[in-house]
Every structure is written in structure tokens, then in C-alpha cells.
Structure 1
Amino acid sequence: MRIFKTKKELQDYLETARINKQKIALIPTMGALHAGHISLLDYAKPLSEITVCSIFVNPTQFNDPKDLEKYPRPLEQDIALLEVAKCDVLFLPSVEEMYPDPDEQWHINLAGLDEIWEGEMRPGHFQGVTQVVYKLFSLVQPDIACFGQKDFQQVMVIEHMIKVKQLPITIALCPIIRDEHGLALSSRNMRLSEKGKHQALALFRTLQFIKNNFTSKPLHEIQILATEQLEASDGIALEYLAICETTTLQEANTIDANKKYVALVTARVEDVRLIDNMILN
């Protein structure tokens, strides 16, 4: 695996691949890698000749400085995981490398996707996400970029940015990887105790309840029952639970057979903020 820390080194290396018309896949991460991240790499390999994984804890997408400070950074472990997974290239830039101008301004019209759910709870978050992802897209110029379904709203935001910027990149939405009990794998899970991990399973159970009842009960009734179920669960501090149409993420009141729907949930367990979702049809 080749490791590059500067944009110039990475661009020089990838230029040869482009001349040889090799397909490039990008897997952007913030590190603290787990089996979910490796599944993105495995998904990308048959679709590309070169896999590029980036590890960069992007400061512009954190609206809480304490959250940025607490974000885990087990770099040696991450490198070992990527080597075992046979990643071709790791891009490991500094903040100064990605943001040479500390006063850089960025804003993109996200058609309201950055004002609801995660956008409402974390103002400015998706502007920061699109800022760094656009930088990575411009730098790597991938044919395909792989993202995990766990960050469903983030993927919809990036899809929208690709349309606005007219980028020739295909987005792969890769399935959520869960542990044997159903807990969605997340870098934040390492901050949970064993008891906290057990309590967090209430999110998965509630999503399963919604999916199992999606076509048999009215949506407003499912929403009420699912919310009550979560609020009664030990150790769960619910932030939001919603059943939405997938592309706009507007809350659904009825089911249209021609549309797809997703259940979104965010809650705190032991003051660790967890997100999860499930595609319903």
C-alpha cells in the first residue's frame, strides 16, 4: 500500500493511472476503521483497478469542538487494517494540507437537505461534509466513490452535490454492516461500555419494528408506537425518529408505490451520539 501525505504526491501517482485509463475508486473516511469501512473497500475492488482510501478528520463538519477533540484516531491500527485488506493507496493529509487558507469560504445550495434531521441537529455539518468531499473528488477524480448506508442523509447530500457540480462520479451506497446482535458498526461505538452497546440495540429493534409493520399499519401509528418503544428503552435519549421518502428526506404521511422510504433514527447512549437507519421497501 502506498501512503501519501500531500496532494501533489497523490496527484502525481494517480496521473499514471489516468493515462493508462485505470478505474479509480475512492473511499473517504475519518479513520477509526472497522469492518464497515473494509466492506466499502471490498465493494470497490471488483469495480476498479486502484482503490484510494483517505483518512482525514475534517474539522469543518464538526459543530461541537468537544466532539472533534474526542474523535478516535487509532492511526497505526487503521494502517494495519488497510494493508490486510489490500488497499492500494492511503491518503493521509494534515489539516493544513487540505485547508491551506484557514479562512476559506464554502457554501452550496443543498435544496434543504442540510436543514432537516442531521442538518437541523448539527448546523453547518453538511456544508463541511460537502466542502471536504468536493476537495477529495477534485483531487482524486474517482470513477466511483463508496459510502456506507449508515450515513444515509450524508449520501443523499453528496448525490445532490454531484448533480449541482455535474461531476462524472458514480456513488455506491453500500449496506450497513452490523455486529452479530444488530448494532450498526460505528467508530463511535468504541466509546460505549458493554452495557451501552447492549442498550444501543434498541435502535435496531425499533427499525425492525418499523420495517415489519410498514405495509400493515398507518405510518402515523407506526411512528407513535416506534417512538414510544424507544423512549421506554433503558439508556436511550432519543433525538429524532422519522419515516421519510429517500431522495428528499421529507417525512412521509402515506406510501406511494413508486417511491422508496427509509426510517431514520438518532439517539444518545452514554452521551455518545448514534445514528442508524433502515430502507423500508
Structure 2
Amino acid sequence: MWVAETVSTLQQYRAQLDGTVALVPTMGALHQAHVEHMRVAKRMAKHVIVSIYVNPMQFGPDEDFECYPRPIAKDLATCRAESVSGVFCPANGQMYPSSNLPVQIDVPQLGSILEGECRPDHFAGVCRVVMKLLHLIQPDWATFGRKDVQQLRVVAALVADLNVPVEIVPIGTIRDSDGLALSSRNAYLGDDERRAGLGLYRALTEARQMMEIQRESNTHRIESHMHQVLESHHVMADYATIRDASTLAGLSHIDTDCLGEIVGLVAGRVGAIRLIDSMWMGEEPSI
């Protein structure tokens, strides 16, 4: 397994690869969900490249960029154990040289709602780094998790509109046995905070039960109940909402016969730690 820390080294290694390539973009602090991405990627492509980069452009001024976990030696060991072809782990100066004028890329219809309201520059930063990675690595496939369904939709729209020759592969949410969605930020959670964080999963599962079992179709009642669940778990909610799974548009009424086209999204803080989660309200699409 090769490791590239500079753009020029990455380009040299990339030029030597023959056959198909899948990209697994990460910010490091790898866990079992990232491993699942690598394994799916290996089933598709001859070569798998993992990027490990904590992208400053998608963090706000009061967010956790400085303290975001960066266990690079452990991450490289994980990648080596999964037999990926290579890892790209650049410094900020490689991704954003000071000599370059900054460019802004965005998908405003999708990027200005939900996370975009809470984190106004977040998706512009995501789009910028994703385009850089896709341009540098030129993969045939790139994996993105369904847990962050809004990011998934933003990236899919980005590559479709800009005719980027890559297929975005959605990967289902991986959860611990208690239901908490795997996240690098889970490392921040103490025992009490972890129990509180389960409120996100509980809000989503109870919303799904309201629709599947009780046949509840009133969006306001479902979303109100989601907020109540979060409050009972001491989660300070940013949003708890039911949306169209494709467009993320709000729904005035729910067709309980079409729950596979509806997704629930939640985000909130447990103390100082911000968590997000999402869940299809019907059968989640296959990978």
C-alpha cells in the first residue's frame, strides 16, 4: 500500500494504476463504517484509494476543526489491513495552496437547507474538496454514506450537473448494537452523552413506527413527536424532519404506501458534541 502526502506523489502513483479505481473519501478517525465502504469499493474496482483529509473549508469558525480526531497511524493500519491500493493524506497547503485564488462551488437548492441553515458554508466546502479529490484521483466510483443523506444528495447533484465521469455509490448506515450510527465524533462521547445521543436513533425509529404501524400521515404530528423524543433525551435539536428522499423537499402530507421515498433527518447537540442521523421511513434502497 502506497501513501501519498503530496499532490505530485498522488499523481505519480495514480498514473501507474491500470484498471478501475474506487475512491473512499474520509476525514480519518476510521471506524467500521469506513471499513464497509472499503469492502464495497473492493468488490467493484481493481484498485481502492482512500483519502484521509480533515477539510477546513467545511468547518465553521466555532466548530471542532482543531480538535477533530486525527489518529493517522491507526488509520493507515486500518487501510493496510483492508488491502487498499493507496492512501492520499495531504496537508492543507497541498489541497489549498496559498498561491491559488479560492473557488466556490455549491448546490444552493440542496445546500442551503437543513445542515446548510445550521452551517452556512459547510456544503460549499464539501463541494470544493470533493471536486478536488475527484479531479486528482479520477475514480470510476466514489462511496458516500447514507447517514449524511443531504451530503449524498449534494454530491450526486454536483457530479451530475458538472458531468463528472464518476458513479456515486451510496453505502447504508452502519450502527452499533444499540442503534447509534457510527461516526468519528462518537469518540467524544462519554457514557452519559452516548445514552443521550441514542435519542437521535429513537426519534427516527419512532417516526418510522408512527408511519408504518399507526399509518400516521400528518407530518406536523410526526415531527413534533421527533422533537419530543430528542428533548426527553436532552438533545438540543437543530432539526428533526421528514423529507422527500430524492429532493429533500418538505412534505405537507405523507403517503404511507410510499415510505421508501421518504427519509427522516435529525441533528442536534449532546452537550458540546453535534451529531446527525437519518433513516429511510420504508425499506432502505440496496447499496
TM-score tier by shorter-chain length is over 0.9
User: Using the alignment, how far apart are the partners of 2:182 and 2:22 within structure 1?
Assistant: 22
| Maintained 8 Å contact 2:203/2:230 | yes
Structure 2 partner of 1:262: 263
User: Using the alignment, how far apart are the partners of 2:139 and 2:12 within structure 1?
Assistant: 14
SS of the residue aligned with 1:68? coil
Structure 1 partner of 2:11: 11
Aligned length: 277
User: Using the alignment, how far apart are the partners of 1:258 and 1:29 within structure 2?
Assistant: 30
Structure 2 partner of 1:252: 251
User: Using the alignment, how far apart are the partners of 1:164 and 1:267 within structure 2?
Assistant: 31
Q: Tell me which amino acid in the other structure corresponds to 2:246.
A: T
- Matches for 1:50-69 after TM superposition, within 5 Å: 50-69=47-66
Structure 1 partner of 2:279: 278
Give the CA deviation at 1:82. 1.2
The alignment yields a C-alpha RMSD, in angstroms, of 1.6
User: Using the alignment, how far apart are the partners of 2:93 and 2:65 within structure 1?
Assistant: 16
Structure 1 partner of 2:76: 79
Give the CA deviation at 1:225. 1.7
Structure 2 partner of 1:236: 235
Q: Does 1:169 align with 2:170?
A: no
User: Using the alignment, how far apart are the partners of 2:148 and 2:223 within structure 1?
Assistant: 21
Structure 2 partner of 1:113: 110
Give the CA deviation at 1:105. 2.3
Q: Does 1:207 align with 2:208?
A: no
Q: Tell me which amino acid in the other structure corresponds to 1:47.
A: M
User: Using the alignment, how far apart are the partners of 2:8 and 2:277 within structure 1?
Assistant: 37
User: Using the alignment, how far apart are the partners of 1:196 and 1:261 within structure 2?
Assistant: 29
| Maintained 8 Å contact 2:30/2:184 | yes
User: Using the alignment, how far apart are the partners of 2:254 and 2:108 within structure 1?
Assistant: 23
% identical aligned pairs? 37
Per mean C-alpha deviation after superposition, the further-off stretch among 209-218 and 48-57 is 209-218
Q: Does 1:155 align with 2:159?
A: no
Give the CA deviation at 1:100. 1.1
Structure 2 partner of 1:220: 220
Unmatched tracts of structure 2, length 5 or more: 283-287
SS of the residue aligned with 2:66? helix
1:159-194 Cα distance to aligned partner (Å, 9 max, x none): 111012101111111011111101011111111101
Give the CA deviation at 1:149. 1.2
The runs of 4+ residues in structure 1 deviating greater than 4 Å are none
| Maintained 8 Å contact 2:259/2:281 | no
Give the CA deviation at 1:261. 1.2
1:193-239 Cα distance to aligned partner (Å, 9 max, x none): 01111111111111111112224002222112222222122x31111
| Maintained 8 Å contact 1:230/1:236 | yes
User: Using the alignment, how far apart are the partners of 1:134 and 1:109 within structure 2?
Assistant: 11
TM-score with structure 2 setting the length? 0.92
User: Using the alignment, how far apart are the partners of 1:32 and 1:62 within structure 2?
Assistant: 16
Q: Tell me which amino acid in the other structure corresponds to 1:98.
A: M
Give the CA deviation at 1:44. 0.6
SS of the residue aligned with 2:110? coil
TM-score with structure 1 setting the length? 0.94
- Matches for 1:118-129 after TM superposition, within 5 Å: 118-129=115-126
User: Using the alignment, how far apart are the partners of 1:58 and 1:227 within structure 2?
Assistant: 31
Q: Tell me which amino acid in the other structure corresponds to 2:231.
A: E
1:8-31 Cα distance to aligned partner (Å, 9 max, x none): 2212222232xx3x1100011111
Q: Tell me which amino acid in the other structure corresponds to 1:243.
A: I
Unmatched tracts of structure 1, length 5 or more: none
| Maintained 8 Å contact 1:192/1:270 | no
Per mean C-alpha deviation after superposition, the further-off stretch among 41-50 and 216-225 is 216-225
| Maintained 8 Å contact 2:176/2:182 | yes
| Maintained 8 Å contact 1:106/1:127 | no
SS of the residue aligned with 1:183? coil
Q: Tell me which amino acid in the other structure corresponds to 1:116.
A: I
User: Using the alignment, how far apart are the partners of 2:206 and 2:121 within structure 1?
Assistant: 32
Structure 2 partner of 1:91: 88
